[in-house]
């Protein structure tokens, strides 16, 4: 019964949980460990899941699991190995455009990774995972106003660092 509910509600969001974990941990191995531990917790807390979107609920569990791990280990950024292997260019573009696109994606990814965690995670939840401000506030357990200001400041910083490394026409 519980396993069925888990299959129906949590498993469809496993990719999202992994992607989120990958951004938190910056490592494939750590992301796998984190998602596995988070899913064990999710299974245990499954009865507390109300109707509605299970995604913010699952993100909150992944995030809490991560922060309790980090506080156990004492450091957030110890496993910051970054691989650039999956920046495949779009085949429909000509070679020069491909290079530009590849370069932009790599730069944006680096800029996002360099952002302080409090800004990185709101941008991730908003722009990549598509959560609403209200849902992000639930995940982070902060007021919506805080979510708004972190998104603003995070995007400002991202734009600044991107403008600093190259002209911005690639963003247009």
Partner 1 sequence: MTCEYLDRDVDAYVDRELGAEAEAAVRTHLNGCAACRARVTERQALTRVLRSLPYHEAPLRLRSRISAGARRSRSIRALAVMAAAAVLFIAVGRGTALLGPVRGDGSATEQVVDGHLRSLMADHLYDVRSTDQHTVKPWFIGKLDFSPPVVDLASIGYSLAGGRVDYLDGHPVAALVYQRRQHVINVFVSPSAGTASRGPAAESMRGFHVRRWTSGGMSFLAVSDLNDAELDQFVTALRAS
Number of residues that bind partner 1 (CB under 8 A): 49
Q: How far apart are CA 48 and CA 57, in angstroms?
A: 10
Phi, psi of 84 (to 5 degrees): -110, 20
Structure tokens at 148: 């708004």
80 binds partner 1 (CB under 8 A): no
Helix ranges restricted to H, the chain: 2-9, 14-25, 28-44, 54-73, 95-114, 117-123, 133-140, 144-165
Contacting partner 1 within 82-141 (CB under 8 A): 86-88, 104-105, 108-109, 112, 123, 126-128, 132-133
Supply 157's token pair. Answer: 């910083």
CB of 164 to partner 1, least distance (A): 14
**CB-nearer residue toward partner 1: 76 or 148:** 148
Q: Which residues bind partner 1 (CB under 8 A)?
A: 1-3, 6-7, 11, 14-15, 17-19, 22-23, 28, 31-33, 35-37, 39-40, 43, 68, 72, 86-88, 104-105, 108-109, 112, 123, 126-128, 132-133, 148, 151-152, 155, 158-159, 162, 168, 171-172
């Amino acid at each position: 019964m519980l396993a069925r509910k888990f299959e129906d509600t949590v498993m469809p969001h496993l990719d999202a949980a992994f992607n989120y974990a990958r951004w938190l941990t910056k490592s494939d191995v750590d992301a796998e460990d984190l998602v596995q531990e988070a899913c064990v917790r999710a299974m245990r807390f499954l009865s507390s899941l109300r109707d509605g979107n299970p995604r913010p609920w699952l993100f909150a569990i992944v995030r809490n699991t991560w922060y309790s791990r980090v506080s156990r280990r004492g450091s957030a950024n110890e496993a910051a190995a970054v691989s650039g292997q999956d920046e495949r260019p779009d085949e429909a573009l000509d070679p020069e455009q491909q290079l530009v696109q590849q370069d932009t994606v790599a730069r944006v990814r680096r800029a996002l990774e360099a952002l302080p965690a409090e800004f990185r995670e709101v941008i991730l939840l908003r722009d990549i995972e598509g959560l609403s401000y209200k849902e992000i506030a639930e995940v982070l357990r902060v007021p919506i106003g805080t979510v708004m200001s972190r998104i603003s400041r995070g995007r400002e910083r991202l734009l600044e660092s991107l403008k600093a490394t190259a002209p911005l026409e690639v963003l247009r």
